[in-house]
Structure 1
Amino acid sequence: MTRDISQASTHPDKVRPASAVSRWSMDSSDVSSGTLQDSWGSNDGSLNGGITTGASGVGGSEAFSFDGSDDYVAVGDVLGGFTRLTVSSWVKVTGSSSNSSYNVVVGNSGAYVLSYQDDTDDFLFRLGLDGGKVDLRAGIGSVINTGWYHITGTWDGSKQRIYVNGSKVSEQSASGTMGDTSGKHMIMGSLDTNADGQGQSKYMFKGKIDEVRIYSEALSQQQVWKLYNVGRNANWGFSRS
């Protein structure tokens, strides 16, 4: 499968700066032999459990559907140690995880986590800094079975921000050194807290995930807004092959 992203980089949405690290479209065309292609980099992910591919996504695209029990995508012992970061995804939460209140969208345990916490009805952007957990929440009420949401967490080394549907909901000061993730795999749909490359059952996501992106810089509010609007109109006409 080729990785021709030249057209994507020139698309007028202007949301692929030099800091772009990885993008997983969740389109079935980017899946081959149980592997999800990273269309920007080389951080491909392996599908685990019984993930449903080709599910209806946001803006007419395709998405992955996770059962909240044993479905996750394991990317590998990569994508940690950032000094600045943006992580974003479209999510449609359809229920609670089978074993806890945490529905993890994407994360690398000890470094960063983007999730939905259904017992407090908020999205959570967690950073692992200086050995501790720094949590920033966007309390917008229950989102279970209420449609698609675009969630973005950014960190510029001193400020941590969380955006919902292109709008900043909360921010706080956050500085320090991102935690060591050696041995822990970056996971979509769960977390690898045991450094064994497997998603833990208590963090499983139930619902759909689409368009996961990681950047090595904190996108500006304008860039996040553009990213949100691009997702709402996902079929912009260039090849994702």
Structure 2
Amino acid sequence: MGKLKNKLASIIRASKGYKYFPHVIVATALVISFAVVTAVNPVKGLISTLSSGMADNPHLVGYWPLDSDAKDESGNNNHGTVSGAVFVYGGHDNEALYFDGNDDVLTTALEIDESSDSSGATFAAWVKTDLHPTWKPTEKSAIISTDEGGHAWSLMINKADWSYYNGTEEETPNIEAELYTWTHVTSVFDPNGNNGSGTSSFYVNGEKVHDGAIGYKNSSNTVRFGDSTLYDESFKGRIDEIYIYDVPLSDSQVFSLYSGNEVIPDGSPVNNPVDNNDNSIIIDSGVEEAVIPEDTADNKLIIDKDIE
């Protein structure tokens, strides 16, 4: 990211003499525009490049974009293994992983500390369900699961509603999981919430819809997506952009994550470059970067002149 900033700053300094050699500036702008527009999937590729700093987010223990592979892009190498599920276009962001409801699963080697000494956790994902699991023996579908048969922390669908296990029992926010609709869901487990007695919370599209209790387990089961370990709780639909933190996120941080920002717990949320649907890429000024709008109408790249 620093290299990109230096290159942009160099171009800006050079551009101060544009009236003397406009052909150089035009050529430079065209080269950069071409690189941004064609060398990557116009916005997402550049975002991936600039987001490589996720290794500096120590509490993000897993991030699976699910674009053509199950690699963990958090820097922790908790790469997944896909069984049955397939990557498809039409994800919330580019591609997604499609589960057919018949034992498809994505497994990982990631273990979450759910003991009474845990710092907590946050599970989040974009989900588009095709069918409510009423035909299953348990009438449940697991989205994110660590379950070992004893209500370990999770995120799932029960009949037609979103739900989750809090470590001791099931919490049911009584919010329907809409069919064929991309929905951002988050379960947060906070051992220090409620003045130290502990809480669990559930969010739909960045908004808190439920607060509950929290329980603890010494489960050694690793995190899996789309099914649980012991029961037939396979999911039918698409899952995309999975995030797992080893700390609870605050209400504002959950909303920021839903909004497409990189969230760094124990500090202010920092904006990654995001597609604003107006052909612009925004880099948060709080990290002393730039605003880089891309004018596709005349193939120019406009760079913030205030970069140092």
Q: TM-score range by the shorter chain?
A: 0.7 to 0.9
Measured in 2, the distance between the counterparts of 1:192 and 1:235 equals: 37
**Within 5 A, what are the aligned runs for 1:212-231?**
212-230=242-260
Query: Unpaired segments of 5 or more residues in structure 1?
Result: 194-199
Answering whether residue 213 of structure 2 is matched by residue 173 of structure 1, we say: yes
Give the aligned residue type for 2:61: V
Measured in 2, the distance between the counterparts of 1:10 and 1:38 equals: 14
**Higher relative contact order by CA 8 Å / sep ≥ 6: 1 or 2?**
1
Alignment coverage as a number of residue pairs? 205
1:80–1:108 contact (8 Å) kept in structure 2: no
Q: 1:185–1:217: structure 2 CA closer, same or farther, 3 Å change rule?
A: closer
TM value normalised by structure 2: 0.60
Paired position in structure 1 for 2:51: 8
Picking from 124, 137, 160, the partner of 2:200 is 160
Answering whether residue 118 of structure 2 is matched by residue 91 of structure 1, we say: no
Cα-Cα RMSD: 2.7
Q: 1:44–1:95: structure 2 CA closer, same or farther, 3 Å change rule?
A: same
2:201–2:208 contact (8 Å) kept in structure 1: yes
* Structure with more helix by fraction: 2
Deviations 1:19-72 (CA, angstroms, capped at 9, x unpaired)? 2111111111xx2xxxx21111121111102x12033111x4211110000211
Picking from 134, 137, 150, the partner of 2:184 is 150
Q: 1:73–1:234: structure 2 CA closer, same or farther, 3 Å change rule?
A: farther
Paired position in structure 2 for 1:44: 79
Farther-moved stretch of structure 1 (101-110 vs 157-166): 101-110
SS at the partner of 1:8?
helix
Paired position in structure 1 for 2:112: 79
Picking from 105, 113, 123, the partner of 2:162 is 123
SS at the partner of 1:192?
coil
Query: Unpaired segments of 5 or more residues in structure 2?
Result: 1-47, 192-197, 262-272, 283-308
Larger radius of gyration: 2
2:157–2:177 contact (8 Å) kept in structure 1: no
Paired position in structure 2 for 1:102: 140
Superposition deviation, residue 74 in structure 1: 1.1
Measured in 2, the distance between the counterparts of 1:18 and 1:6 equals: 19
Runs of 4+ in 1 over 4 A off after TM superposition: 233-238
Measured in 2, the distance between the counterparts of 1:53 and 1:228 equals: 22
TM value normalised by structure 1: 0.76
Superposition deviation, residue 77 in structure 1: 6.2
SS at the partner of 2:173?
strand
Measured in 2, the distance between the counterparts of 1:217 and 1:185 equals: 17
Give the aligned residue type for 2:127: V
Measured in 2, the distance between the counterparts of 1:63 and 1:169 equals: 26
* Structure with more strand by fraction: 1
